[in-house]
Copies of this chain bind each other. A is one copy, B any other.
Amino acid sequence: MGSKEKILVAALLLFNRAGTRPVTTNHIAKEAGVSPGNLYYHFANKQEIIREIFSQMSSLFDKITPSGSILPGSLEALDQAFRQITEAEWEYRFLQKEMVTLIEQDPLLKDLFLERQNARIVGIESCIRAMIELGLVCSLDEAMIGRLTQVIWLVAIFWNPYLMLKGEPVTRARISEGIELIRLVISPYLVAEKTAAIMSV
């Protein structure tokens, strides 16, 4: 592992453990086993490290949902994407916890975040349209597709913070509960004759 990567791994560990506030670049350099000078060779400041970690997480999401589309148009694929996204969000949980505050403090991070969020929302909409075209979901107007997408998006991004608020660890079982909520939201719009087979997978 190069020193840049070591710094990012150490920063993620410390941010997840203690939040971004008490962690200094000196702490990160020490945890990474590099000199402060080496850290400053790679990163101008802590904000730049946070932005880089955000980009790492975004790349991970891109792998889960390639080319902006959240899934190829099936409920199982939606489940799978939700599970992987929730696990990735848990891996980068300090970002989920602090995002509103971090964005306020860093306009560059805000731009990054909004760009990624829009791409993912467009991805969910494409997925719903794909399911409509495949005849899995009944015909819906644009306003309905928009609102369904927002509910799914809200459940997906806030399921982890919700569990954290309850003080509950994010286990695979709890992640599955979040998936059931997404299924609940979409299930009334599934075409009846195909629903039973899909829901019982």
* A interface residues, Cβ below 8 angstroms from B: 19, 21, 97-101, 103, 110, 113-114, 117, 144, 147-148, 150-151, 154-155, 157-159, 161-162, 164-167, 177, 180-181, 184-185, 188-189
Q: How far is the CA of A105 from the CA of B157 in the complex (A)?
A: 23
Q: How far is the CA of A101 from the CA of B166 in the complex (A)?
A: 12
A94 → chain B, closest Cβ, in Å? 10
Partner of A154, one of B21, B110, B147, B181: B181
Copy number in the complex reads 2
Q: Given A147-B180, A147-B181, A188-B188, are A100 and B165 also a contact pair (CB < 8 Å)?
A: yes
Which residues of chain B have C-beta atoms less than 8 A from A151's C-beta? 151, 155, 181, 184-185
Interface of A: prevailing SS: helix
Partner of A110, one of B110, B161, B167, B188: B167
Chain A to chain B contacts (Cβ below 8 Å), 17 pairs: A21-B21, A97-B100, A98-B101, A100-B161, A100-B164, A103-B167, A114-B167, A117-B166, A144-B184, A150-B181, A151-B185, A154-B154, A154-B158, A154-B159, A154-B162, A185-B185, A188-B188
A163 → chain B, closest Cβ, in Å? 10
A44 → chain B, closest Cβ, in Å? 22
Which residues of chain B have C-beta atoms less than 8 A from A99's C-beta? 165
A172 → chain B, closest Cβ, in Å? 18
A32 → chain B, closest Cβ, in Å? 24
**Is B181's CB under 8 angstroms from A101's CB?**
no
Closest to A188 in B: B188
Partner of A158, one of B113, B114, B158, B167: B158
Among A150, A157, A164, residue most surrounded by chain B Cβ atoms (within 10 Å):
A150
Q: How far is the CA of A155 from the CA of B100 in the complex (A)?
A: 17
